[in-house]
Structure 1
Amino acid sequence: MVAKVPESHAKKAKRDEALAEALTVSLKEKKAKKKATRKEIKARGLKYAEEYAAAKQAVIDSTKKARSEGNIFVPEGPKLVFAVRIRGINGVAPKERKILQLLRLRQIHNGVFIKLNYATLRMLQRVEHYIAYGYPSLKLVKSLIYKRGFGKVGKPGAWSRIPLSDNQVVEANLGKFDILCMEDLVHEIYTVGPHFKEAANFIWPMKLSSPKGGFSKFSKLKHFTEGGDAGNREHYIAGLVGRMV
């Protein structure tokens, strides 16, 4: 005589079978999505590389053309600044202290990307005795984000500092702005794209090291144009920040 299987057991077996089938389908969909995402990321990386090369070549061509015509080619002004704090809190006046807080330069050797406009330029000039800043190259932007990049994840009052070691961290927080990977993030920062504010705020203020070889005596008290380290270094910011990464 064949033992009768209880109805509850039969229902449980049927439910487990349905769950297993759904899990298999879900895993297949996730695998296909990851494959498509990797393909999209690779395509974007190639597109950005072509865009950077084309922009560089356009400047070279315009310079040659202007020279051949007896003119001078003036390239477009910088749109991006990288600022790093090089002095502590001693002797900082209240207004300057507030500006440093607004720029997210609360600690010594903190560095941030800033969109350059009239307002931010005035702020930088007001606190230039406490910071060094300049116009970063693509190489420097990539180096900073890949080596010292951390994301600000969570909610106000409960932020978490997460290393940018996975594209999924970027996609989870900036995917709604069509920023899916590290190369998207680099491109948005370097080109000062339409969602620069969200991208820059997502990046935690970078904690840099003391520069190799250190600062020379009194160099932090002098402006860069006077042989010191403070103030606007323009394209020479890479020399200082490169020793701090």
Structure 2
Amino acid sequence: MSLPKVSEVVIRKRKSIAEVKAKRSVQVKNQQVKAKQAKGRKKNFKRIEEFVIQNRAKNEDSKRLEKIVKKAKSAKVNLSKKAIAKAAEPKEKYVATGLPVVFAVRLLPMNGTCAETRKALLRLRLWGLNTGAFVRLDERNQKLLNKVSPYVAWGTPTNKTIRELVVKRGTGRIEGKRVPITDNALIEKELGDKNIICLDDIIHEISTSGDHFNDANNFLWPFKLAKPAEVKRAVKVKNPKTLNVGGDKGDEINTLIGAIN
């Protein structure tokens, strides 16, 4: 049985459709390549622009730190022999109990910060955005806070604020890991030799700036907090430092903590 013959008209029509499809396929591929190239160029332009902005911000940050250093130098007076002797004492002796305790919160990203500012943030344990930590306000830490003031807000927390932070957000550092404080036995195991055996003991050491403040504070992992409503605008501002959200807030820090805890 012979197969039915296909007319020449149908063959030409099929060939024409195949050619149209082939041309269309080539056109689509060309359009995709062009779109990809245009997108790549757009990304490159954006990266260059961002680089310029960040470089400018770093220069501004370096100048800001230079002003702080110059201001500190100009404020110096002739030291008495007693003051010189005190300055020469070992650092261990300098760390005294009873110094004020502040709570510091990092509110802005490190974009455009110079190396010295980043180092100060790390020393304050504020390496993450919207993280907070207790800081004993000695001379060294005051200088560090001044360096990072555009990015960090700090102030004096009340006993109520300290308790709410530790109870709600407190986690412990155990063998270099963040561990939820679910049992006082964890605290006693890590800090029992310092007579700190429960959460209340940690809160007491922090709030009174006690003899074992450093032990209690270093046991606590930096607190993860929510982003304040007024800081959310920072993502829409080219230079978020202009928001002036940082610096010494005094007692107002308690209101801020209440909003983000």
Per the TM superposition, whether the score is higher than 0.5 is: yes
Verify: 1:243 aligned to 2:256, yes or no.
no
SS state at 2:260 partner: coil
Q: What pairs with 1:152-191 in structure 2 (closer than 5 Å)?
A: 152-154=173-175, 159-191=176-208
Give the Cα–Cα distance (whole angstroms) in 2 for the partners of residues 171 and 222 of structure 1.
Answer: 45
Structure 1 match to 2:166: 145
Query: SS of the counterpart of 1:243?
Result: helix
Does 2:255 match 1:230?
A: no
Please name the residue that 2:81 is paired with. Answer: none
Q: What secondary structure, in the 3-state scheme, does the structure 2 residue paired with 1:215 have?
A: helix
Find the counterpart in structure 1 of residue 241 from structure 2: 221
Equivalent position to 2:220, from 203, 207, 210: 203
What's the offset of the Cα at 1:214?
Answer: 4.2
Secondary structure of the 1:190 match is helix
Identity of aligned residues (%): 36
| Letter paired with 1:244 | I
Cα distance in 2 between the residues matched to 1:167 and 1:116:
28
For residues 1-245 of structure 1, the aligned pairs below 5 Å read 79-154=100-175, 159-211=176-228, 213-215=229-231, 217=233, 221-222=241-242, 228-245=244-261
Q: What is the distance in 1 between the residues matched to 2:191 and 2:147? A: 32
Contact kept, 8 Å, 1:222 with 1:230, in 2: the verdict is no
Superposition deviation, residue 215 in structure 1:
2.5
Cα deviation code 1:82-126 (max 9, x no counterpart):
001001120111101101111111010110001011111111011
Structure 2: distance between partners of 1:162 and 1:127: 28
Gaps of 5+ in 1: 1-76
2:220 corresponds to which letter in structure 1? I
Distance in 1 (CA, whole Å) between partners of 2:231 and 2:132 is 17
User: Which has more radius of gyration?
Assistant: 2
- Return the letter of the residue paired with 2:188: E
| TM-score computed with the length of structure 2 as normaliser | 0.58
Compute the displacement of 1:216 (Å).
Answer: 6.4
Task: Determine which structure has the larger helix proportion and give its number.
Answer: 2
Quick one: which amino acid aligns to residue 238 of structure 1?
N
Moved over 2 A (4+): 213-223
Counterpart in 2 of 1:10? none
Structure 1 pair 239/147, CA: closer, same or farther in 2 (3 Å)?
same
Contact 1:78 1:135 in 2 (8 A): no
Contact 1:129 1:231 in 2 (8 A): yes
Contact 1:78 1:116 survives alignment (8 Å)? yes
Question: Structure 1 residues 115 and 103, CA, compared in 2 at 3 Å: closer, same or farther?
Answer: same
